[in-house]
Chains A and B, each alone.
Chain A
């Protein structure tokens, strides 16, 4: 089963490499959305410092949304999804492997870029690691929760818009805890409580989301 899951992850990474433009779109979207705010709001340092975590987190949510639509759509239309539903390993495990690959492709670049983008907002250097850590814990939750929506809206007309309406409300707790971690740290309260709650949410999501995604995929294959 390990060899099977490794083959699935390798396939997704290889496909992502061959479709580099798709990943670049998501990452550039994130960079541009974040960069628009200092230009639009003006160079008032205190204001920028205050809004930085919120802006970066909202942009990360939207960038994740953008990449989710591609997660199962092409596999659904060319029959590759059927082969995964009939695989020799539990579908839940395959879904975990695919979500991990998807996060490596679309979540990790956002985490890595966030400290660089935070400079535009003059975010204090000691807050940068907190922001990165909150995104590192938060983006896998976004991928897993979003994948449930992507699986449910598979094959629907106008599924992209429906996906956004379905998934964005579910992202609210992650957004509050993620952006709140940086705010708490900047207020001198310490970010531990927020980050631990985020970690707890990641554990719960990683435990239950794969089986929900698997069930949704089975329904959409019928």
Chain B
């Protein structure tokens, strides 16, 4: 389980929020909302360990993630608002590298199926620069269906640039992960209902300033 104790995040001179505590049990969806600039992405990056909170600690199964490092990251999938795709590599090659970095090594057939489920059948061999914005997002998200064994998913605006078919597929993928006892942290501006055993909403606009 993932816990944050009284964390405070500052960017430059600006204090985004402080005294924020949260706990994420298996099967829980944490929905982070707030206006632009309220610190949603910073909170997610802090939960990943990319950003060190100026105060407080983030713990994974009771251990500070700063001490765990790879031991924590091998349980985590983070998909930021950038897709981390290389323009010159094909969808399959990009997917393969991203999965390998998470310590997952799917076969070519599994990769092809994952891309097909996200509506990218027949486009596996196109370089990422030839894909549309929505297709690039789908390629990045296709990693989730290959990394379902990793319990914690941290997703920054996963529904941005997706069409309704892809959104409903994402809802199903996230719903299934939660039903299997996974943990998901999501930021979104859209009202996307996700079937979750337990859901907590954290609004960053409230409780500070």
Which A residues have a C-beta under 8 Å from some C-beta of B?
Answer: 3-4, 7-8, 11, 14-15, 18-19, 74, 77-80, 82-90, 221-222
Q: How far is the CB of A178 from chain B (nearest CB, A)?
A: 33
B93 within 8 A of A: yes
Instruction: Say whether chain B's binding surface is mostly helix, strand, loop, or mixed.
Output: loop
Min CB distance A214 to B, Å, is 11
Which A-chain residue is minimally distant from B150 (CB atoms)? A88
CA–CA, A221 and B49, complex, Å: 10
Residues of B within 8 A of A77 (CB): 82
Q: A14-B89, A15-B88 are in contact. Are A8 and B73 (CB under 8 A)?
A: no
Report Cα–Cα, A79/B74, bound state, in Å. 18
How many Å from the CB of B15 to the closest CB on chain A? 16
- Pairs across A and B, CB under 8 Å, 6 listed: A78-B82, A78-B84, A82-B78, A86-B76, A87-B73, A88-B103
A18 touches B88 (CB 8 A): yes
Q: Is the CB of B97 within 8 A of A11?
A: yes
**Chain B residues with Cβ under 8 A from A87's Cβ?**
70, 73, 101-103
The verdict on B130 contacting chain A, using a C-beta distance below 8 Å, is no
Please give, as numbers and ranges, the residues of chain A lying within 8 Å of B96 by CB-CB distance: 7
- What residues on B are CB-neighbors of A7 within 8 Å? 96-97, 100-101, 105
Chain B residue contacts of A221, Cβ below 8 A: 50-51
| Contacts from B to A (Cβ < 8 Å) | 48-52, 69-70, 73-74, 76, 78, 80-89, 93, 96-98, 100-103, 105, 127
**Residue of B at shortest CB range from A7?**
B100
* Known A80-B86, A86-B48: A4·B69 in contact at CB below 8 Å: no
Given contacts A7-B96, A15-B86, 6 further A-B contacts (CB under 8 A): A4-B101, A15-B89, A82-B50, A83-B84, A85-B50, A87-B101
In the bound complex, how far is the Cα of B97 from the Cα of A42, in angstroms?
51
Are B89 and A11 in contact, CB atoms less than 8 angstroms apart?
Answer: yes
For the complex, give the distance between the alpha carbons of A82 and B156 in Å: 13
- Closest Cβ neighbor of A78 among chain B residues: B82
Q: Which residues of B contact A8 (CB under 8 A)?
A: 97, 100-101
A10, closest chain B residue (CB): B97
- Cβ-closest chain B residue relative to A11: B97
Chain A residues whose C-beta falls within 8 Å of the C-beta of B82 in the assembled complex:
77-79, 82
Interchain nearest-CB distance for A2 vs B (Å): 11
Residues of chain A with a CB closer than 8 A to B49's CB: 86
Q: Is there contact, CB below 8 Å, between B78 and A88?
A: no
What is the minimal beta-carbon distance from A222 to any residue of chain B, in angstroms?
A: 5
**Residues in chain A near residue B84, CB distance under 8 A:** 78-80, 82-83
Judging by beta carbons under 8 Å apart, are B78 and A86 in contact?
yes
Kindly list chain B residues whose C-beta atoms are within 8 Å of the C-beta of A3.
100, 105
Q: How far is the CB of B149 from chain A (nearest CB, A)?
A: 12
Is there an interface contact between B93 and A82, defined as CB atoms closer than 8 Å?
no
Most chain B beta-carbon contacts within 10 A, residue among A77, A79, A85, A221: A79
Contacts of A14 in B (CB 8 A): 88-89, 93
Cβ contact within 8 Å between A4 and B50: no
In the bound complex, CA of A74 to CA of B48 (Å): 21
Q: A88-B70, A222-B52 are in contact. Are A83 and B101 (CB under 8 A)?
A: yes
How far apart are B104's CB and chain A's nearest CB, in angstroms? 8
